[in-house]
Structure 1
């Protein structure tokens, strides 16, 4: 973690030395400029020294040795980095504070502090030499290897008979190992992967099969090798040779410990000869270990040999053929409860849970998130405790303390810690940060990404934006099974994810130990430490903490209804996220002195206006005012030159039936000068914005409202320049004013989401050229009856979502053969003249969800609906009774999935006929609280 802190520090120093500040520096004169010259020189020197230390820390981080002197030295480095970071934050604060005509005294203070940092860095270097602080010479520390092996052996003997639901896995694995070929003895070697999150039981499963009599008799020799990401190539090769010889009870070659890889391969080739072998590579974490170190080293002797890899990583698992990848699933709720009770009551005559403890048993087993290792650890712990509600509630209410102070959880903690330790430094910080979200709170992708960037964890990388890099980091954590996806959109993109409750408690403990953040989840907790971040879940207005805590604070993230202490003077705050706090109706003036603020989240609060002093927050990157009572913005917004994301809109009609169901904000003169703006939602059109919109080529998400017919020509020319645009919403001024979109443009091929909410004379022809377009919403377009618009959309190979609200005045929608081949979600709403829907064979092959809402002219079920073999759910709302009856009574008998039809009425006349899976977000991805959070 110390190396990650140093990374954040060096990025801050680099930012302070950047060109933008250089321009301000040139405007200074005399003593102040002389002082700043010294300050900046010291900053450069400190940055260089910390970067060298970071390299050393990354190196020793791969060694995993027990060395108290080294640990003490690293602790001193971390504390010094914290102090240096505070100085840099003060430096940035002074630059941004323009009220003082002269800051000489403050620059003197900064200069002296930096000198002290330099002196202490020098002393740390001397200490390193004096105490001979270094890692073990040569190959990786044997102690570290032995500790890793001991941990692996422990996890292999976790009560195999208690792990549930592995019978099918064992059967498949044995089948893959024995082989199905007629002449398995002369077949090629096969690579098998067994993957899943940490604690799922991968190693236990493979170990059980590995030691079975059937498998022992099927192979001439076997070896089990734990693969650490830190082994040198010779170490790994040597261990494979040693384990194979030991398995055969053969004499281990002399000089084995001094052989290089070439000699080791020669011995291995001779030893294996024509023998059928089985090698288990446990805990493989990196594809390159196989590709660069092992694939060619282990010979394929065409004897039907097998290699099994266990791994957390989806990327590593993909090294095996598609038909040889085993994904071990979590325990279901009932299986987890059953296993927990077996362990909790193992010392009783019966393993059944008494009725009075069942609620606590369910709660505790749910906390384990289906991970057998966690379930067994919890059960073992409670098997030694009194079987009372009071005793079991202690575990629920004080999980963090119990996990960290009880030997019953040592193995589980070690396994989970090993998983965390294996993360590269740039992912560790991102993953630790996920612990700030409460257990009950799903982590929303876009919100998390913007917070990571605001905290300074992620920077632009070459031509790739910080948002792109953050997206990669999130996906890598998911692929490593550190985060679990909870919801995706129809494109398969992550909407929300979560972290297991047990892992969250462990990373909260680590974060608190290192002052990374502290979590307040009850009003009774007091705090006097130096944590950089507070995560507060509270329903009252009183959070106890000391003055020193406030002075060191960089982030306040609030969950719950209690009002935070906004007037407490968080001078160096970077993140203030108050999303969903209903009591927030305004911001005190002190907030506008937070010159280091990068993120201000006020979504779903009751705030009504922003002060013109907002212009003083010159480092602000995200300003989220969605779903608030703000109707217009102060002119000072255009002074926020670093703003990347601006959200201002409010839903005024929750039925979504009116044309103007949500409001944006009037455009500010000069808003197009915000060159770093990526997201602009939702701005009303103006002459100034039309004239200058071409400047905003960096925009990625853009919603413009109150567009009139005369605006479209200028708007379309500006859209052509937005080469990075991914989402575009065009909203008309009036429902009866048609926009002429016949002019030809070359749209940005980056477009993924497109919305027209306006009356159209015709659908733009350029839509059919958008090869990446995945979402289309045509709302109140009222296209003429004679215009068949579906062919323009049907050939879009990436299209997965289509919403049609009063989109067409025709009487028929015909989905032709070969069209809409990837569409998964089709929603047809308020098509008053629609009388017939036809689906030809070969159309809508992937359709999963069909919504038909208020299409009163439809009396017959869609023709061809029986050909939609992948259809899972049909939602009907305010449809004619005869349409519903026909669909239900006739076609549902022949299409079992149509038994999930939902029939929803807005009045009490009709009863629910069936309630299946109901996707209540009618508008799709847009205009919901989850949209951008």
Structure 2
């Protein structure tokens, strides 16, 4: 990523990225012709001015006239073209730097001469392209002046209305109004045609015609017919708190005054008062019988999106009670950008939320149009793509990834994307886009030429402009190909379900992003030209049988390499060490590569394997990755390996260096003992936040672990004793704990979580051949609990009937899973234990519904796995 600002956006195209590259060209010491340097300076100055106007246009996007939109679109397209040209020019400059080509002698001279000729021809072609692009910039500048765009934007942005000019209309007396009776009575007739159902009537016209006055007179005339009514006037920038307060006072004159700032209380009062007053039929029991099933379907397709439900309800009030019309409305939801009047109306309503987004969030939301309908998008995966695309701006000392998560959360909070899965700490880690929102953003992305989509439903949605981001879903298609599409300008390519009809990668020379998703039929031969993708920054492959070519080392700008689902790859090519700008390496049980120390920009690496074939030097180099924040490692050096001590010592040394640098998240997996970490490693107390040590249990909790003051997540296999819970219970920030051990302890079979233990813990999973009890005051913030009980020991503990496990003391509990081991227990004892759990849960404030599983010896191995 170049710079700290947003490099690419839907509002300004590639302009920011282009300006950064032009500035770099002028600063770097290239052997550039003076005339070319002047041309580059001219491009930079002119484009800087145009970029400033593009950013101002983005502030008034909803109100732009067609002429301004066309100029903006042409300038954005031009930014992409110029950046492609500058990228190729930069590549040629770098390639032409002094070096020793082809060896010595006649052949070396010959190869050097041929290369020089090629460079001269290439630079001549680039020079001609730049002249053509310069002419386009000059013409765009002339049009800007002819259209007077700057003054038009200034008028839009500086237009301030000091007061709401409709205010006097709210208090106009009837006898002071001339000619009001006839239009007022016409509107009343439209509203009440004898069908006894509510209607919406719009009064439209230019400012000053008396629309507000007329509406107020209609309200005064027929308002007494309604037991719940309100009249409010909304300015262009309304104070929503005052609007809600005004409505509440008008519909319920008995409500007391709510102090300023209590928006939530006002809304709650309104919701309570208006409940069952109206949706579509006045109340649910008045819904016509023939429409109930289809109404339920429509609500389900609205997916809980408040704006969608309200908008759909408003739309349905205009429909008759004929089932065919309602079926038509239902089928229109999720129909994409097909021309449909109901969909267009819905998009206009939802556009209010879209235009309320800041520019950077609009870009990130539009990008989600690349994914198929109902596709569940992982948060980290999405954020990595945003980062690689240049959509994220670093802010307040946060990393790009941390800032991207803030963008993601804001889209969740605004209900523009829907949460699917949530982590232990309440953070959403996957989402999907509601059908209605997807329709909207597909429409907007196509209109802006931001994304081009080819699916089995839309066949070919090829815009009239050049294609920059292409999403191709081959599901259910046999013959649809992209050969008719010009692909030379495509920067982002998503291929869902690979087809043999896809054009080769050599057809995409401008590619920055390549995502081959869910392509089990993808063959390694498709990647043979990947080394030619000079600008590639992001590569993700999901395929079961594929190998990575050695040409991967040619991708000098690659930042993210995601091979998580490539189960056939166990070793990376030797050339991986050439990727000096690589920040994120997402793999699954791939051997720690030789030359890993060359990857000095690496911040994320998981999950790599250290086994007999791993060189000791690679383990030593691991410690030099001082920017590494996340590491996942599978340790496969057995206890009887002759060089185990050498491997262990180098590993501990590297972990120590990483721990003193930036390491925050560490996962260690091993089928062998990791007890060599107990006393030999001591990470700094204020860096590590997440720690996992699994696969083989530790004999005890390491002393150094108690000093991890910022540790929030711990997944550990350890021999559990009462003192183990005491140590873990004192961790000051621990929110998630998964505690597992298959080590049998034949002493005391009961463990107690003491009063005051685990003050911050929210989720606890305990898998052990021992039983748990909870004292009053233990785990005061615990929301999710999963543990097991050995039924016959539970009865023996109490002597008579089931024991009191203390579940009733877990006052914050919302989710409970209890696995009951039934071997050697009588049925009545198991049933009594389950009844006791239900009784304890019923006493909790949140009244969680427990999930109870019974299992026996034969099922235990599966449960352990």
TM-score (ref. length: structure 1) = 0.69
The answer as to 2:668 corresponding to 1:726 is no
The answer as to 2:554 corresponding to 1:557 is no
SS in 1 for 2:779: coil
Which residue number in structure 2 is paired with residue 280 of structure 1?
243
Describe the shift of the 1:352–1:76 C-alpha distance in structure 2 as closer, same or farther (beyond 3 A). Answer: same
Which residue number in structure 1 is paired with residue 814 of structure 2?
872
Once residues 545 and 438 of structure 2 are traced to their aligned partners in structure 1, the CA distance between those partners, rounded to angstroms, is: 32
The answer as to 2:235 corresponding to 1:226 is yes
Which residue number in structure 2 is paired with residue 46 of structure 1?
43
Whether the aligned pair in 2 keeps the contact of 1:523 and 1:543 (CA below 8 Å) is no
Q: Deviations over 1:104-154 (max 9, x none)?
A: 32222223222332332233223323343334566857699999999xx9x
The answer as to 2:50 corresponding to 1:115 is no
Describe the shift of the 1:809–1:22 C-alpha distance in structure 2 as closer, same or farther (beyond 3 A). Answer: farther
Whether the aligned pair in 2 keeps the contact of 1:227 and 1:282 (CA below 8 Å) is no
**CA-based RMSD:** 4.8
Query: Which of 55, 61, 64 is residue 58 of structure 1 equivalent to?
Result: 55
Once residues 817 and 669 of structure 2 are traced to their aligned partners in structure 1, the CA distance between those partners, rounded to angstroms, is: 27
Which residue number in structure 1 is paired with residue 563 of structure 2?
625
Once residues 129 and 161 of structure 2 are traced to their aligned partners in structure 1, the CA distance between those partners, rounded to angstroms, is: 39
1:696, CA displacement in angstroms?
A: 1.2
Which residue number in structure 1 is paired with residue 727 of structure 2?
792
Once residues 61 and 225 of structure 1 are traced to their aligned partners in structure 2, the CA distance between those partners, rounded to angstroms, is: 24
Which of 1 and 2 has higher RCO (CA within 8 Å, sep 6+)? 1
1:844, CA displacement in angstroms?
A: 1.5
The answer as to 2:606 corresponding to 1:681 is yes
Describe the shift of the 1:409–1:634 C-alpha distance in structure 2 as closer, same or farther (beyond 3 A). Answer: closer
Query: Which of 672, 679, 684 is residue 735 of structure 1 equivalent to?
Result: 672
Q: Which runs of 5+ in 1 are unaligned?
A: 27-32, 164-207, 229-235, 244-277, 284-303, 309-318, 650-663, 911-919, 924-933
1:754, CA displacement in angstroms?
A: 0.4
Whether the aligned pair in 1 keeps the contact of 2:15 and 2:51 (CA below 8 Å) is no
Greater shift, 789-798 or 425-434, is seen at 789-798
SS in 2 for 1:739: helix
1:701, CA displacement in angstroms?
A: 1.1
SS in 1 for 2:420: strand
Once residues 84 and 361 of structure 1 are traced to their aligned partners in structure 2, the CA distance between those partners, rounded to angstroms, is: 47
1:381, CA displacement in angstroms?
A: 7.0
Describe the shift of the 1:880–1:390 C-alpha distance in structure 2 as closer, same or farther (beyond 3 A). Answer: closer
Describe the shift of the 1:712–1:44 C-alpha distance in structure 2 as closer, same or farther (beyond 3 A). Answer: farther
**Counterparts of 1:793-872 in structure 2 under 5 Å?**
793-806=728-741, 809-810=744-745, 811-829=749-767, 831-832=768-769, 834=770, 836-852=771-787, 859=794, 863-872=805-814
Which residue number in structure 1 is paired with residue 349 of structure 2?
415
Query: Which of 586, 596, 600 is residue 671 of structure 1 equivalent to?
Result: 596
1:584, CA displacement in angstroms?
A: 2.1
Which residue number in structure 1 is paired with residue 698 of structure 2?
760
Once residues 10 and 859 of structure 2 are traced to their aligned partners in structure 1, the CA distance between those partners, rounded to angstroms, is: 62
Whether the aligned pair in 2 keeps the contact of 1:461 and 1:469 (CA below 8 Å) is yes
Once residues 863 and 390 of structure 2 are traced to their aligned partners in structure 1, the CA distance between those partners, rounded to angstroms, is: 34
Once residues 644 and 855 of structure 1 are traced to their aligned partners in structure 2, the CA distance between those partners, rounded to angstroms, is: 48
Once residues 856 and 638 of structure 1 are traced to their aligned partners in structure 2, the CA distance between those partners, rounded to angstroms, is: 56
**Counterparts of 1:61-72 in structure 2 under 5 Å?**
61-63=58-60, 65=63, 67-72=65-70
TM-score (ref. length: structure 2) = 0.74
Greater shift, 91-100 or 420-429, is seen at 91-100
Describe the shift of the 1:68–1:870 C-alpha distance in structure 2 as closer, same or farther (beyond 3 A). Answer: closer
1:865, CA displacement in angstroms?
A: 2.0
Whether the aligned pair in 1 keeps the contact of 2:481 and 2:501 (CA below 8 Å) is no
Describe the shift of the 1:502–1:921 C-alpha distance in structure 2 as closer, same or farther (beyond 3 A). Answer: farther
Once residues 144 and 590 of structure 1 are traced to their aligned partners in structure 2, the CA distance between those partners, rounded to angstroms, is: 59
Which residue number in structure 2 is paired with residue 477 of structure 1?
411
Whether the aligned pair in 2 keeps the contact of 1:13 and 1:43 (CA below 8 Å) is no
Which residue number in structure 1 is paired with residue 548 of structure 2?
610
Whether the aligned pair in 2 keeps the contact of 1:892 and 1:898 (CA below 8 Å) is no
Once residues 357 and 479 of structure 2 are traced to their aligned partners in structure 1, the CA distance between those partners, rounded to angstroms, is: 37
Q: Which runs of 5+ in 2 are unaligned?
A: 1-5, 102-113, 171-187, 199-218, 247-255, 638-643, 796-802
**Counterparts of 1:173-192 in structure 2 under 5 Å?**
none
1:473, CA displacement in angstroms?
A: 1.9
1:576, CA displacement in angstroms?
A: 1.7
SS in 1 for 2:682: coil
Whether the aligned pair in 1 keeps the contact of 2:822 and 2:855 (CA below 8 Å) is no
Once residues 328 and 444 of structure 1 are traced to their aligned partners in structure 2, the CA distance between those partners, rounded to angstroms, is: 37
Which residue number in structure 1 is paired with residue 206 of structure 2?
none
Whether the aligned pair in 1 keeps the contact of 2:579 and 2:599 (CA below 8 Å) is yes
Describe the shift of the 1:909–1:601 C-alpha distance in structure 2 as closer, same or farther (beyond 3 A). Answer: closer
Describe the shift of the 1:707–1:462 C-alpha distance in structure 2 as closer, same or farther (beyond 3 A). Answer: farther
Once residues 133 and 664 of structure 2 are traced to their aligned partners in structure 1, the CA distance between those partners, rounded to angstroms, is: 45
SS in 2 for 1:730: strand
Once residues 906 and 61 of structure 1 are traced to their aligned partners in structure 2, the CA distance between those partners, rounded to angstroms, is: 64
Describe the shift of the 1:380–1:560 C-alpha distance in structure 2 as closer, same or farther (beyond 3 A). Answer: farther
Q: Deviations over 1:304-323 (max 9, x none)?
A: 97687xxxxxxxxxx65876
Q: Deviations over 1:83-123 (max 9, x none)?
A: 22332454466578899944332222223222332332233
Describe the shift of the 1:86–1:795 C-alpha distance in structure 2 as closer, same or farther (beyond 3 A). Answer: same
Whether the aligned pair in 2 keeps the contact of 1:707 and 1:730 (CA below 8 Å) is no
Greater shift, 447-456 or 843-852, is seen at 843-852
Which residue number in structure 1 is paired with residue 370 of structure 2?
436
Which residue number in structure 2 is paired with residue 638 of structure 1?
577
Which residue number in structure 1 is paired with residue 471 of structure 2?
535
Describe the shift of the 1:667–1:76 C-alpha distance in structure 2 as closer, same or farther (beyond 3 A). Answer: closer
1:375, CA displacement in angstroms?
A: 1.6
**Counterparts of 1:675-714 in structure 2 under 5 Å?**
675-685=600-610, 686-706=615-635, 710=645, 711-714=647-650
1:793, CA displacement in angstroms?
A: 1.9
Once residues 547 and 93 of structure 1 are traced to their aligned partners in structure 2, the CA distance between those partners, rounded to angstroms, is: 29
Structure ID, larger Rg: 2
Once residues 70 and 807 of structure 2 are traced to their aligned partners in structure 1, the CA distance between those partners, rounded to angstroms, is: 70
Describe the shift of the 1:906–1:83 C-alpha distance in structure 2 as closer, same or farther (beyond 3 A). Answer: farther
Describe the shift of the 1:489–1:5 C-alpha distance in structure 2 as closer, same or farther (beyond 3 A). Answer: same
Q: Deviations over 1:324-373 (max 9, x none)?
A: 6759999xxx99xx957999x99xx9733369967965665559777333
Q: Deviations over 1:265-322 (max 9, x none)?
A: xxxxxxxxxxxxx933899xxxxxxxxxxxxxxxxxxxx97687xxxxxxxxxx6587
1:468, CA displacement in angstroms?
A: 2.1
Which residue number in structure 1 is paired with residue 71 of structure 2?
73
Q: Deviations over 1:138-182 (max 9, x none)?
A: 6857699999999xx9xxx9x9x999xxxxxxxxxxxxxxxxxxx
